[in-house]
Amino acid sequence: METQGYGQFCPVAMAAEILCNRWTLVLVRELAAGSTRFNELRRGLPRMSPALLSKRLKELERAGVIERQPAAEGLHEYRLTAAGSDLRSVVQTVGIWGQRWVQSQPSLRNLDPGLLMWDMRRNLEVTPMPRRRIVIQFMYPELAPAKRHWWLIVEPGMPTDLCSVDPGLEVDLYVTTDLRTMTAIWMGLTSAGAETQAGRLRLAGDTAIGRSMQSWLGLSPFAAEPKRVAG
């Protein structure tokens, strides 16, 4: 561990020695959300270097929070142990506190299209959608061309797929907005309907899928928690 320890017998201090290194708690968040492969964890933590991710995984393994298991093709998966699973409620509580008490505007300066779309893919609710393949293209016109277009592909009985390169499939719904607006919707600070009425969110294509967007959109798991601080 990077810290020298707090030198206290308090359980809070002892837990902090494991969990309070930079990136550790958000790494646990990703593991609790279901990411198991190294590259999946990198997609959820795009600003964390591969070397630091590897280091933190080893630290959590030594602490008994995760275990590394062999997977197909010579790869490995990282799974929460019983001790790690106990941290799900900790992550939930920290997230609720952040949603309630951390101001929104600083959060909305941390914009990342890849991370946003990855989180949307992970939390997408497929039940309101027709039982067929659905392709939704998101367009952020203000971004550089390489980060401007994203596709969510929903197949019945299959994990939702996310593409940043045109998959060559017929698109059912086009969603055009700016990244800040889409992030605010994902965070629960506004809604798809409100942003459509304001002209900041434009939908084209299948009107039924568009009308139900708020019900299937993969929002933050903390989006329903109301803010208790202004700004």
Please give the structure tokens belonging to residue 175. 């969603």
Residue 231 confidence (pLDDT): 66
Q: What is the amino acid identity at position 189? A: L
Cβ neighbourhood burial of 32 (10 Å; 0-12, 13-18, 19+): middle
Please give the Cα distance from 50 to 124 (Å, whole number). Answer: 27
Phi, psi of 68 (to 5 degrees): -95, 130
Please give the structure tokens belonging to residue 229. 């601080």
Residue 109 confidence (pLDDT): 81
Q: For the domain 11-101, what is the CATH code?
A: 1.10.10.10
Domain ranges of the chain: 11-101, 106-216
In order along the chain (231 residues), what is the average pLDDT of each group of 10 residues? 73 94 97 95 95 98 97 91 98 96 82 94 92 97 96 95 96 98 95 97 97 94 90 66
Structurally, at CATH architecture level, domain 106-216 sits in 2-Layer Sandwich (3.30)
- Sequence-distant (6+) residues with CB within 8 A of 94 are 25
Residue 1 confidence (pLDDT): 44
Alpha helix (H) ranges present in the chain? Answer: 11-19, 24-32, 38-44, 50-62, 82-85, 88-101, 104-107, 113-123, 145-148, 179-187, 192-197, 207-211, 213-216
